[in-house]
Amino acid sequence: MHSLRPITNRLARLVGGGRKEFLDTAVERWEISPAEKVEIIPGIWLPDQIEHVAQTEFGALSDIVACMLGDPQEPIAATMAYRLRDVDYIDGALYARGAEMHLRDGRHEGRRLSYPRPERSISGAIYESWIGNRWFGNWLLNDCMTYRLAETAGHPVTTAPLRGGHIARYEEVLGMTPERIGDVHFDELVLFDDLHNNASRQARASENRARLLAGRVCKPLPGVFIFRGTSGATRILENEAEIAERLEVEYGFRTLYIDRHSVDEIALAVGGTDLVVGVEGSQLAHGVIAMRAGGALLTIQPPDRVTSALKLLTDCWRQHFAMVVGHGTIGGFRLEWDDLRRTLDLIAARNPQNPS
């Protein structure tokens, strides 16, 4: 048998029904952590950095400036859970009554009119997100925290296949043992609204850091530089190797390479420092999860792709966020050493345990 949910959802929108929010189909909802006001730590950057910005990502320049200003009493929404019934997961999307939610890019996204009904039925709690399936950093720092909710709410499930490398090892050390599913029908499904940096998220961030560092003796380091190179989406810092070397020689940093170092090696190094530096990108999530609260993450950014997205994550992990903007484009940009040095001085002034 086939389900016509995709076409009926589309027809409802065409006749003026609008797009129904997926979580509105829930039969039950409950509050995990209440709304509250939280201190948001101001970001750290040189006074002239705004003049270097040519183009922003994930928000306008005014949004980035507001994010960097911080807020001593920012209203933070509650963490919520939702129970839904009679939900199909097909080819990267969840389908319920009159609504759909995509967890990953599917082959038929936006074009499907119907689908064969899944033969298998289960109940479970999904902790993953579209953004986490797209970017490793969001998986590690967002979805892996929501897993802690899924394991208490019931049976954690994920649409992600078995993977090797860093992901497999993180799942192991964080105690994540989800059931991996393909196309399936959910008799009952629990989902979460868990993107708000309230006390619950901050506590789960601390728990995941503790799990990662448990049993490790981390020797103190002045700083760690996480080398990006050509990994991930294009952001080529042409003098990255030179900067890494100068940080090693002049500040005593250790350089880590994500294609050479394991999760355990990275955690052992980052767990002993209060300063992580690197080109803005998901590889810096290795630094955020292992670095102590109160440390600082310094992101090096091309002027045509400036973002404060990682600050939303360091805010949760109670770390300082800093940025310095180079010259050029994502296809090839350079950072002046003096700009980096002066930014390190600002971080040291804010956080005296860091190098000056």
Quick check: 97 pLDDT over 50? yes
pLDDT number for residue 120 = 92
Task: State the CATH architecture for 40-75+218-350.
Answer: 3-Layer(aba) Sandwich (3.40)
**CB 67: neighbour CB atoms within 10 A?**
20
- Residues 179-224 pLDDT 10s: 999 999 999 999 999 999 999 999 999 999 999 999 999 999 999 9
Domain ranges in the chain are 2-31+78-211, 40-75+218-350
Q: What does each C-alpha distance from 326 to 118, 281, 296, 304, 341 come to in angstroms? A: 51, 15, 19, 10, 13
Specify which residues 186 forms β-bridges with. Answer: 87, 122
pLDDT number for residue 210 = 97
Specify which residues 29 forms β-bridges with. Answer: 82
Q: What is the dihedral of CA 64, 239, 319, 267, to 10 degrees?
A: 140
pTM for this predicted structure: 0.90
pLDDT number for residue 197 = 94
The pLDDT confidence band at residue 14, using thresholds 50, 70 and 90, is very low
